[in-house]
Every structure is written in structure tokens, then in C-alpha cells.
Amino acid sequence: MEEISLNAWPSYRIELYDGWLLRYSHNYTYRTNSVEQIGESTIPVQEKIAYCEDIYSALHCPTNFKIHPLLDPSFDALLEEKGYQKKHVTEVMTTDIHDVNLMPSTGRNYMFENRLNLPTLVNYDNDITVELKAYVTDEWLKGLFSLNGTSDPTLRRIVPKMYAAIPKQTIVASVELDGRIVATGLGICDREWVGLYAIYVSPSCWKRGYARAVCSTILKEARQLGAVKAYLQVVSGNTKAKSLYESLGFEDFYTYWFRSLNKR
């Protein structure tokens, strides 16, 4: 799962260092601005931590270490002793894609697999229409930035490159209302898995079923493309999102978090 999620969300800049992967993306997300352990180490751990702190300090960024169940718990304890704060606790949820409770569609105009990236339109009750495309477009990114509040010019320049660097097949979903995107979602297929990412809905459109429709559409499409399992990551405490995912059939798998230190 850790390997698949790394594939799904590339960083703007990476460095390999003695079995550690240093990721940096101008603070866009914790995951793409953190150190992940992906191999065996030969350099003393205190020396490695100091090296990472110097790298991120030079980038004017906090030093974040991702902590997950595959790591020795003593590493988390060491960072805590060094003053690192626990941040952004995240719950990974999974499901068998054939057991999910999806919203029933009322019709579809199927055009998903085509070189022109023409949309597939999937219709639901209450006048909900989800548009699917095979890759991320400028229009979708503008809608995403509006929904998640990304206004920094640097991020608006580099984040599209991060999405373009995703090496796996993507399922890009959105809902439009009065000519503007009010909901987004992204499915990323890797082996037998599909991951749900970038699920956002405009606050003005909450409680209309848009998030459920977007998730259902991506999961249906992934199933047709051969996926048999699905996963997602939800920040601990986001009870609204967690309730939706549980109602779809997702269950807790494991939890990870970050240890963060700002030396600026």
C-alpha cells in the first residue's frame, strides 16, 4: 500500500539518501513534503536526521518524517524526544471493489476510452451528472484549485506538473453546476488497486450527494478497467468524509502520521 500510494502522488522534487526518500513540493501536502523510508540504512540515524533537517531548512520548509506501521516504533519515539510534533494523522481505508455500496446511476453516455479525451457522462437522480475523462485537464485543475483554496502562484505552477507526472492510469471526475466545477475526484489505478484522491465538494453544494456520486462513478469505472480493490486516505477527525466512506463499504486498514520540526 505504501508503494502504491507513492506511485499515485509524485513530488515536484525528490532525493534518494541511503534508503530514505526526501520529497519536496513547496509545502503543497504533507505526503509530498516529507521523508519516507523505502530501503535499508547504513548511515547512523542521528546523522541522517541532521542531514534531512539541513536539506529542508535550506528549502524553507519544515522537516517532516512519515511514520507508518512498517517502521520500528523507536524511530517515532526518537523524533518525539528531539522535539518533533505529531501532525496530520491519516487513516488508510480499503475495500473489495465488488462489495461497495454504490449510488445507482440512471444512465450514461459512454465515451471514456478515446484519444480525444471526450467525456463520459454518468447521470444520477436529483439532476446529478458526473463527467469522466481519462486524464487531468486544465479546466479540472482550475476547479480543484478553487475548491481546495490553492491560490499561491508557485503552487498553481508546479502542482499541474505533479499531476502530469502520475505514471498510472487515471480516472478524472467532476460535477459542474451553472458552468463551474463544484465537485472533483480522481481515481488512480495501480495493479489490482484503485485509489480515491482529490475528493472535494463546494460548501454551497454539500448534502446533495455529489461526493457519493463522484466516488461511485470512479469505482464503477475502475471495476470495468479491472480493479478488484480500492483504497483511500482520510485525515483523522474528518468525520463527515469518514462517514461517507464507511457507508460506501470502506473499512480501516492502518493509520500513519507525520513528525514535524520547523528549524527556520
pLDDT tens for residues 114-138? 555 556 899 999 999 999 999 999 9
If phi over 0 gives left and psi between -120 and 50 gives alpha, with beta otherwise, what is residue 243? Answer: alpha
Helix pair angle (239-248, 210-224), 10° resolution:
40
Cβ contacts of 198 within 8 Å, gap of 6 or more: 144, 184, 185, 186
Residue that is written with C-alpha cell 531548512 in the block: 57
String of DSSP letters for 188-238? EEETTEEEEEEEEE-GGGTTSSHHHHHHHHHHHHHHHTT--EEEEEEETT-
What residue ranges do the domains of the chain occupy? Answer: 2-91, 98-227
What top-level class would CATH report for the domain 98-227?
Answer: alpha beta
pLDDT at 120: 86
pLDDT tens for residues 94-115? 999 988 999 998 987 766 555 5
pLDDT at 71: 95
| Mean of all residue pLDDT scores within the chain | 93
User: What mean pLDDT do residues 155-173 have?
Assistant: 94
pLDDT tens for residues 40-51? 999 999 999 999
pLDDT at 107: 85
Split at pLDDT 50, 70, 90, the class of 262 is confident
